Amino acid sequence: MKITIIGAGAMGTLFAGLLSKGGNDVYLLARNKKTEKILKKTGIKISGITKTTIPSSKLKITINPAEICCPDLVIILVKSYDTISTVPSIKKMMGKNTVILTLQNGLGNYEILSEYLNKKRIISGTTSESATLVKSGDIVHTGKGETIIEEGDFSGQIAGIFNRCGIKTVLSDKIESVIWSKLVLNCAINPVAAISGVRNGEIIKYKNLFEVAVEAGKEVVTVAKKMKIKILFSDVTQIIKNVCLATSKNTNSMLADILSKRKTEIDSLNGAVVKIAEKLKVPAPVNKNLYRIVKKLEKSN
């Protein structure tokens, strides 16, 4: 399959490496010439759970979407605040049979894409794979998890290819529930770690941090219920604890962004929840405060 991956960060590099290793024709669309130059020189190195090296000769690396004609699949793995910036690139490369898959965190990505592109060709999904970027082209595969994509005309073929490449993938006819269930965890764990400067596993070691995470998660569940969206677990406290234990050594993406003085995805996570909560007149004070503190940390960077 001819696959374009937009986003050469940790997750984009991970998927590019695994899909290329699996024999697919992979194009990696980088953001700038510096990243393009590095990737063309070094290729991709994955360490950690997966150990593999993909030479640059096995990949097509470019910053110019016009060089990528009519891929079968475009996977979007940029930060949620960059979703809108992918639209011109997709339009330049998209053929009549191209399918677009978003595996991004947070709310609003599908809606942004469907506003400008043919929504019949867009698939929503989410992934629990995790990776840390050491430097361009060099990542550590820190956690294996399930990738879930919504059922559709093209989803089965994509899932089959992903599974053959070692990316465990299943289909769901309740993708909104899947996305919101992950949102509960991201809104609970990511900002607490980012603000306190600790890895995921340390959150449960400190009673005050864990209590804040749990309350944030419960608020998101309340908002989802108000919207008649079913969350896929019943015990919020236990699932947050389980995820913190399973990813105990992870420096989550929001903490990594703060440490690297980058913009975070707080607007599409807690910020998005707060906006919906205000419209529905549902109290969400913990999410509101987490949002405000992370935004202050961003500004101080």
**CB atoms inside a 10 Å sphere around CB 62:** 17
Using only C-alpha atoms, the chain has a radius of gyration, in whole angstroms, of: 19
Please tell me the number of Cα atoms within 13 Å of 39 on its side-chain side.
28
CA distance 84 to 239: 32
Annotated active-site residue 226? The verdict is no
Q: Is 15 helix (H, G, I), strand (E, B) or coil?
A: helix
Q: At residue 188, what are phi and psi to the nearest 5 degrees?
A: -80, -50
- Could you give the strand order of the β-sheet that contains 169-172, starting from the edge strand earlier in sequence? 60-62, 25-29, 2-6, 73-76, 99-102, 122-127, 147-150, 169-172
State the CB neighbour count (10 A cutoff) for residue 244: 26
Among 51, 182, 263, 296, which one carries the catalytic annotation? 182
Contact 125, 102 (CB under 8 A): yes
Instruction: Report d(CA 113, CA 99) in Å as an integer.
Output: 12
In this structure, the strands spanning 73-76 and 99-102 are parallel
Active site amino acids: 182
